[in-house]
Amino acid sequence: MGVWPYITIAVAVLVFVLGTRLSRSVTRIAFPFATAAIVVAAWRISCHLMEYDLRFPDGTVKRIPVFPTPFETVAAMVDMFRDGTIFRYTIASLYRVAVGFTIACVVGIPLGLWMGWSLRAHDALNPLVQALRPISPIAWIPLAILWFGIKDAAAIYIVVISSTFPIVTGAMAAVHTIPVAYVRSARNFGVSGFELYRRVLFPASLPQILISMRIALGVSWMVIVAAEMIAVESGLGYLIMDSRNANNYARVVGGMLCIGLVGWSLDWSMRRLERLDEVRWGFSKIV
Amino acid sequence: MSQPRIELRSVTKSFARRDGSLNVVAGIDLALAAGEFVCLLGPSGSGKSTILNLIAGLDAASSGEVLVDGAPVAEPSRRCVLVFQEYGIFPWATVRENIALGLRDRTTSEIESTVKRYVELVGLQGFEDVYPGELSGGMKQRVAVARALAVQPHIMLMDEPFGALDSLTRLSMRAELLRIWEREKTTILFVTHDVDEALQLADRIVILSPRPAKIVEEVAVELAHPRDVAGPEYGRIKRRLYERLGVSHAI
């Protein structure tokens, strides 16, 4: 292993110590790298500590690694990148999340707004929503396979289930917090019926709806991996399960890293939407 | 007097509460002629806003009659527009879209020319495509006034519209409102708890009691605009208003 992990940790700690005296513009670049360096170094050291000696009957001794090192993982990722596995499976997972999440938005936003505004719609549907909401999307996998088979539709169904409820609940709660002055003004200027949804209820709720969409997308990305381990034969979840069955743990960890990076960029894109003029008024200016 | 624009006949309003009913308005008789500028003056929480909501058709009276142009008020209408303290305008829409809110049934070119006219009237040229979040409090209030005027209402009900502004902006907004009122000949019922504001604006000041609201006295202000706030007549009426509000000993 050498001493590089220990040197790396020492350098990263030094960066943190010096960083307290540096400007924010330096630390916002340097600190994430220092944190990453410590994690990678600690990872490498723990691989070393977990290795053990296996004695064969003929007297030979072999060092057995338990866990892939950072380099083995990166090599596996480069490998999967070259043969197109990562690309293909990421697209497969993203496709399922995109379709499922879109269905959830198209169904969930109007339903939530309606349940938030109409007391009778709330009376009729809220018990159903609140009873279905706590059921883990994972618990739906057997039924999804039964209904849709080992196909995309099963995984998409799981995504729809996992993202519809946060969106419905978020949109409903958003309507409940609309200042009464907006609704009164709208009624005063003759806005009613569908127009009230289009001109007031939807735009007034949009900042909060966006937050619940962000949560729903995060949940979907977590759930799709679980669904793909069981319900389909492609995607990043399948990649992890398949690599594990092949006893290739470098690929398992490489797949996990890939899931993390894609999930991060999905969340980043959702946060970019918060800057649009139509919703910026609803977000604090602190960050 | 010919038919009043607004007429309240023994109007009462009480709200149901967990601990019984809360009596907010206790029998109001009031009439406003077309083109009149009347201020409702009274302590905070005296039911002034409730009276405006009843006239706007946003709430129903518990007993008595609320008439606009001789007909009972059944629902909100664009002929009778309520202007709130700031938050009535929509933060998700531009100044142009806010002002056009009540013009949805007009043609595109009509909307464009009407918005242009009222943007100019309230002095917001160049801010048409700006969102309210980027405007100062005074400018937001002007958007609210322009949005109300754009539908050419017969009546503007103003609920402490300048309450959130700093004192200098408030003064210039009052002057602007008078200028607009003289030009558009709108009937204005203006709620305030500020004696000077009422004195600078109104033809007639209606003093309300603390809750439940009753009319204590009506005071006609027969002074030409702009009013001399240091003049003897102004001072005389002001003393009388304070007396009626029960705070004359405090000044």
Can you spell out the DSSP letters for A62-105?
EEE-SS--HHHHHHHHHHHHHTTHHHHHHHHHHHHHHHHHHHHH
- Nearest partner of A254 among A135, A76, A111, judged by Cα: A76
Answer whether the bond into residue B226 is a cis peptide, omega within 30°: yes
The three-class DSSP label of residue B106 is coil
For the segment A47-83, what is each residue's pLDDT rounded down to a tens digit? Answer: 999 888 888 888 888 888 888 999 999 999 999 999 9
Check residue B225 and give its pLDDT.
79
For the segment A110-136, what is each residue's pLDDT rounded down to a tens digit? Answer: 999 999 999 999 999 999 999 999 999
Confidence of residue A234 (pLDDT cuts 50, 70, 90): very high
Check residue B249 and give its pLDDT.
64
Both tokens of A105, joined, read: 């938005």
For the segment A170-213, what is each residue's pLDDT rounded down to a tens digit? Answer: 999 999 999 988 998 999 998 989 999 999 999 999 999 999 99
Partner B contacted by A240 (CB < 8 A): no
**ipTM of model:** 0.81
CB of B189 within 8 A of CB of B158?
yes
Rounded CA separation B77/A189 (Å): 7
Partner B contacted by A201 (CB < 8 A): no
Q: Which residues of A touch B164 (CB under 8 A)?
A: none
Bridge partners of B159, per DSSP, are B191
Exposure string for A145-169, b = 16+ CB within 10 A, e = fewer:
beebeeebbbbbbbbbbbbbbbbbb
Confidence of residue A285 (pLDDT cuts 50, 70, 90): low
Q: Which of A181, A184, A203 sits opposite B92 (nearest CB)?
A: A203
The CA-to-CA distance between both ends of chain B, in Å, stands at: 38
Partner A contacted by B81 (CB < 8 A): yes
Q: Which residues of A touch B84 (CB under 8 A)?
A: 181, 184-185
Confidence of residue B46 (pLDDT cuts 50, 70, 90): confident
Beta strands per DSSP E along B3-59:
6-17, 20-32, 37-41
Across residues B173-192, what is the average pLDDT?
88
Give the torsion sign (CA, B120, B125, B129, B135).
Answer: negative
Exposure string for A173-186, b = 16+ CB within 10 A, e = fewer:
ebbeebeebbbbbb
Q: Which helix (H) or strand (E) holds A126?
A: helix A119-132
Q: Which residues of B touch A191 (CB under 8 A)?
A: 101, 104
Both tokens of B102, joined, read: 């009540």
Nearest CA to CA, how far is B20 from chain A (Å)? 24
Is residue B62 pLDDT above 70, yes or no? yes
CA atoms within 13 A on the CB side of A6: 4
**Closest residue of B to A192, CA-based?**
B76
Across residues A233-260, what is the average pLDDT?
94
Rounded CA separation B65/B54 (Å): 10
Rounded percentage of chain A residues whose pLDDT exceeds 70: 99
User: Do the chains contact at A187 and B76, CB–CB below 8 Å?
Assistant: yes
Nearest CA to CA, how far is B4 from chain A (Å)? 21
- Nearest partner of B143 among B198, B91, B200, judged by Cα: B91
